[in-house]
Structure 1
């Protein structure tokens, strides 16, 4: 099997493996934002947001475009929005399973 595809997938998922990076992607899936806007929405200091954006940029998940003196960030691929939606659905499925298990356990006790 060609190792470049599994390696790409592993690197891609590593880029997503931080809660702030996920939140940044969720925000950018709605609308492009600059660092200051992201900082305000995330209620985080600029250096933390910039560090996470640097990781996402280095893995080609987001890109920045100069707009005057600021840089506006966008998702590199619109499919990332779908990936985030599917991940939320998987979470919901796990939550439903956990609730169902708790209900069964409650009835048994």
Structure 2
């Protein structure tokens, strides 16, 4: 794989590496919204949401379209929705693995207690 593509991917994932930006993308996966609507959906301050939207815009992950005196934000590429779904599935898989490991540890500790 060429270095430019690796660099692009690294920068792309850096842009996603913030919980509020992920939440904004989750909201935008449901439709196009203005800052106030995103702010209400997330329960965060408008200035914070605007700052995070700027990061996402700079990385071409979201686009803003002027509508009168408002800017309506949308996902630049609908495949972002698929990416978020896959990320959640990976998280769930890791969570299931962790639960299984913890269950085995608990079972082993119970066996040890019973032997004593």
**Does the pair score TM above 0.5?**
yes
For this structure pair, what is the TM-score category when the shorter chain's length is used for normalisation? over 0.9
Structure 2 counterparts to residues 13-92 of structure 1, below 5 A: 13-92=13-92
Say what the alpha-carbon RMSD is for the aligned residues.
0.7
Query: How many residues are treated as equivalent by the alignment?
Result: 109
Superposition TM-score, scaled by structure 2 size: 0.92
The CA distance in 2 between the partners of 1:30 and 1:53, in whole Å, is 16
The CA distance in 1 between the partners of 2:61 and 2:6, in whole Å, is 17
Following TM superposition, where does structure 1 have runs of at least 4 consecutive aligned residues deviating by more than 3 angstroms? Answer: none
Greater CA radius of gyration, 1 or 2? 2
Q: Which runs of 5+ in 1 are unaligned?
A: none
Give the match for residue 107 of structure 1.
Answer: 107
Superposition TM-score, scaled by structure 1 size: 0.97
Q: Which runs of 5+ in 2 are unaligned?
A: 110-116
The CA distance in 1 between the partners of 2:67 and 2:6, in whole Å, is 36
Q: Which digits, 9 at most, give the CA deviation of each residue in 1:26-47, with x for residues without a partner? A: 0101111100001111111111
SS at match of 2:74: strand
Give the match for residue 114 of structure 2.
Answer: none
The CA distance in 2 between the partners of 1:108 and 1:3, in whole Å, is 47
